[in-house]
Every structure is written in structure tokens, then in C-alpha cells.
Structure 1
């Protein structure tokens, strides 16, 4: 999408999406101000985008890596139109040391961090600005943002429309896999980061589903690319049928919204593990897709079930 068309699209945007913030609600950027006085103001240089990664091939996985997967990487291809005279490769990372937005490695490759400290309303635009700077930076450079990037290229403009493969790591050892740490200067920081990372495994049966263990609890979080209304309707239908369970003893405890998508969360019996979810989630996905395709009105029981699901939602960011 060219610059003029992006500007036109934003100027014609009537405001936040239905699941976006209200004028008096806290701004999702984390500033602490009301939305109408921050990214919802008429003179805001960085309008809030409710679904920033929409249109990217791995939208749901990118949301997962940005919000709750501690250690993961995903190589991506640049669009043919992007100037890349050094022929640099680009890898998305869930988190970089110090929450750095981007690192240009000594070999010229670019690591782009998804979990960062700043937030200027449109994460896709923020990442686009950082990536463009990294393509011009010298090897060994750290690249970041200290102010809103303004209008410009977003990830949708810079990345090729190609499949993305996510690799989840047990910890952050990949940070230093090709670095000589003979003096042990990075060992302490790496150990602390690894200790803080909750064990996480990506389920292969469906896109963007992740098992995790936190303390003595296990959970499954599944980022869905469908609209919130459709997800709630489908889950309500299945819940009335008693058909939302994946394994014996689990519970669908609720869901949260983030970056315009809905993420159902299952509380799992201790000892379930990730492998035991592959077949059940594959089977549940088929039932869920069938429920998504229905367009008949909800019954009274299904409406009550839907209201119960909606009451247990949490919006983050």
C-alpha cells in the first residue's frame, strides 16, 4: 500500500473499532491518559490501530509472539520493492536483550524485536520504522524509537506475502549462540532471562496455539484470526453442547483481546503437556470451524452462554 493510500485510509477511518477503547477509557498505548486525550485526539500524530497486524500471513502468531510467548524467532522475507543493498536477512524475535527494538548483527543480519517498551498507537508502523532504520545501520548497531515515527511504511508494506515459520526456544540461548562469551559477561543476564521465561510450546495442529506452564499450572492460549462476534457465537454454541473441552479435567476459563484478536484460554490438568493437546485440538478445531460457519440465530441458552463468555473477557494493550 502506497503512502497516499495509507493516509487516505486513516483519514477516512471513523474511529476505534467496536472492540477498541472508548473516549474516556485508558489509552491502549499505556500512557495513563484517556484515549480521547492521547491516541484518540484529533491532533494525534500516531492514531491507534485496533488490529495492527491484519493482512500479514502470520498475524495470529505475531500477536502471540508480541504478547505472551517468551522466546521465539521467525525469519521473514522482505518485499521485492524494499531497498536492501546489503542483502540483509531479517528475523522477528519475541524479545531481544533489554527489550531492544532491533539489532544489526555483526554479519549484517537484522533481528527485529516484537516485545518493546515503546508504543505509539500502531505497532506495525513502529516496527516498520525500526526495520527501515536497521536496513541502513552499520553492523553491530542497536536501533530503536524515541518518538512517534509519523506516517510511513508498515510491516504490511515491507514484508513479502510469504509463509512464516515460528520456532519456539526453551530459553534465550539463541541470543549468544554465535557470540564469544569467553569472559562470561553475558552469562548472568542470560541466566536471569531464562529463569523468568515460562516453558512454552507451539502446538502444530493449528496455527497460533501455545501451551505454557506457569508455576504449578498449565494453560493453552489460542490466538484466533476471526472477529470477536463470530468467536463468541461459535464458542457459545459449543459450550451449550458441552463441547469446549480438549482433555479430561480442563476448563475454558475465559479469553482476552489483544491487537484486535481474541485469545481463548484453557486451564489444563497438571501433567497434561503440549503433546497431549495435538489431536484433541485438531478435532476441536474442526468442530469450531463448523460452528463458525453457522448463521442461524442463537437460542436462548446459547445467548446466555455467550453473555457468560463475554463477561470473562479481558482486554490487554
Structure 2
């Protein structure tokens, strides 16, 4: 018997597809990667599945849903006294809807988790979303394990492309990964691997490589020479972070970003000494956000990568800051922080100062 169990389950859309007529099934498959869909089409499908779930007993629910089948098998196996669910879904309308139905069954002791861009129709956004999802799940899992919770990744439902990644993450971060193959009665369990993660110094030495990859820059295998092989994957002469690399970066990023103001990734961006002086007196979390904001801005300047919604970049009205023409939002919790700057004669954007909201 397990006293406290954190159960992380991936959610696909089979719960919506099972029992759907041909017209509805065709529509579900067509809209599988859409962030928004026609609610007039989705609502009746959701209502029908919700009503069927509510009227069904547990064995029937488990036949209806791979997610619920896996969850039920884990509970039979571990019989926890205390339980909390994390339901991981894609960044799509159907993914959110399916996870919501599963959440209605498992109850309030649950959390829905996803990452922007977690869709299979774009490899670039999918990779970036996996890095974000890694940061969320690794932080969550570590906090629970430190408090004595047993952590299981249930990968019975969900999509193969996501589950393959999360199986590796689970073998590093969780206590068990579990599956039930279709038609099989028994739960298959994979234990945690005794992996030694790279030390902070290993990552610090190559911090610019990880920074560039984190915001979508292309990095050649030649440029990444010296980075431990386990942290990267090479595809067609270019590298991306491996699952282990994402975990290591997620764990050490904040420490490295709080140590000092890092040089901009772009030659089109410069930081004035006034910003460096203010940076030295900031709180740790604020230092991290300043470095994050400048990295994201560099990617925006160099290859048009959209800024996060929280990272607004806009022209200043009037002349509130002499010499500065634009501001970039850095943080908005509590006392707001803005980086103000201007484009010089050569087109380089110079961050002139860091200050509160104007």
C-alpha cells in the first residue's frame, strides 16, 4: 500500500472518438490539432460522452477510456491513502475537452497541465512545448517527491509522440512509469533509472548553447562540441536538447540566470551599463526574468519568434524616458518591471534602463 500517490496521466482524445458516428468522427480527426473549434459541433459530443460516463459503472468507464483504465489499474495496484492527479493534455481544444471529462471523473484533487504549442502539426513548436512541459512537470514532481509522495507516470492514454518523450522523463524524474496495452489485463511497470544528472558546472560551461536552443535558435553540431552527448540529439547536422538535456536545463536555468546579467544572444541587441547596475540589486526571481526577457527579445529580433503574451514590446507614448522610444515588459507581479530602450543609428536595439511601469 502506498500512503501518498501523485499520478501523472497523459490524455488523448479516444474518449471523444469512441462511440461517435462517422460524421462526428471525421470532424474530430480533422480538428485534432486545432486550438479552437466550433463549439456548436463539440458541445453535443461532449454532453453525450459526459452523460454516458455518469451513467456507467467503473468497469464500463474503463472500457470507454484508456486514461481511466490506466488510472483504475494504478489504484488497484498501489491502493493509496492519499491521491492527487495530474492530467497532461495537448494544447488543443479536443485535448482540453478530453482532459476535462477525465477530471470530472477523478474529482477535485487534480490538476490539468499543458504547454503552449503542444501540438503535433509543427515540429518546432512541439519541441519548444516539450521543454516547457519538462520544466513544469519536473518542478512539480520534485516538490512532491521531496515531501515523500510516490510518483507514477501513467502513459496508457495519450498520443504516442508525447508518451514516448514522457516515458523517458518519467524514468528520470518519477518512481514508476506504467502502461496497459490494449486487451492486456496486467499493468506493465518500468522503474526509475539510476541516472546521474549533469552538475551545474557542466551546464554553466555551455550555457549559451542551452539559452539559444531554449528560444528557438538553430545550433549546429559543430557549435555544440563539448556539450555532454547525453544532453543533446543531433538531426541533420543540427542539435536539439534531449529529454535529459531538458531536465538538466529546467533544474539549473534559474540558478544560472540569477548569477549575472548574461550577454545578449543577438548582435542586434545591446544592454547599457545602467541596466547592469540595477540588475545587481534585484531579487533572484527578477534577475531570472530579466535574462529570460532579453533572450526572448533576441530571438524576436533575429528570426521573428513571437514574444510570449506576458512579454509585451511597444512604443512609448510621449517622452516619459528621455532617449528611450520603446519598452519591454519583464515582470508584472507586484511592482512591475520594464526594460526601456531605443534603436540606434545602426539598427541595434539598446536597452537603456530597467524601471517600474510608466
- TM-score, normalising length: structure 1: 0.29
Rg larger for:
2
- TM-score, normalising length: structure 2: 0.27
